[in-house]
Amino acid sequence: MMFKLTVENIRIALGSIRTQLLRTILTILIIAIGITALVGILTVVSALKNTLSSNFASMGSNTFNIQRYDFNIQRGGRERKKVNPIISYQNIREFLAIYEYPTTQTSLSFVGTSAAEVKFESEKTDPEVQIFGINEFYLENTGTEIENGRNFTIFDIQNNNKVCIIGSDFLKSLFLNDNPIGKTISIRGVKFKVVGVLESKGSTFGNNQDLRILIPIQVAR
């Protein structure tokens, strides 16, 4: 009896589908599109979450940044631009003296120029190279990797050695088919020995991360 009832229900259901075939097809399509869209959205969100997590993880779980920046504030319905005071090198030295904790690594960096011309033998770049002054902890604190060569040592920083770490784009211009490690380049008439090549990071918001050169911070000053 139960079997006959089940068969009869299936027959009625199939008959209903045949009589309303268009509605059935549309319903199935809507459900399929909805499920596909939901799966796609969840996949994209998961990928973005993994990307952000990996980027933050590369910077270190206990890393924070201090920098000068301008921002706008609202007061009485009117927008006003607030400009923070410039962080001087003396401010940095005072911070370093105070912020002394076990296992602490304080990195220093600033942009010396964004319009430098770099020369190697008879080759030279356009005047669009960024020159960064850094200390020995900059690469580790910012999650920047060395592709070839080495990082600066504390002796490079303290002795103001004329050494540099170059971006990967210079392998396509100045050092095409040549190993740059140990070579000497010229930045605005000052000669620097190449000790490392950075891993490629590409370009973000028009800022080419691979067209930069890192030098000891006191030399950059």
147 confidence band (pLDDT: 50, 70, 90): very high
Q: What is the pLDDT of residue 172?
A: 86
Distance CA 149, CA 198 (A): 9
Indicate whether 194 pLDDT > 90: yes
133 confidence band (pLDDT: 50, 70, 90): very high
**Tokens at residue 58, please?**
């590369």
Q: Are 89 and 122 in contact (CB under 8 A)?
A: no
- Tell which wins on pLDDT, 20 or 185: 185
What letter would DSSP give residue 200?
Answer: P
217 confidence band (pLDDT: 50, 70, 90): very high
Three-state DSSP at 203 gives strand
- Residue 5's identity, in one-letter code, is L
Distance CA 147, CA 160 (A): 23
Q: What is the pLDDT of residue 74?
A: 63
Q: Are 116 and 186 in contact (CB under 8 A)?
A: no
Q: What is the pTM of this model?
A: 0.66
Q: What is the pLDDT of residue 17?
A: 67
**Tokens at residue 5, please?**
């009832």
- Tell which wins on pLDDT, 87 or 55: 87
Distance CA 210, CA 175 (A): 14
Q: What digits encode the pLDDT tens for the residues 35-76?
A: 998 988 988 888 887 777 766 665 555 777 787 777 666 666
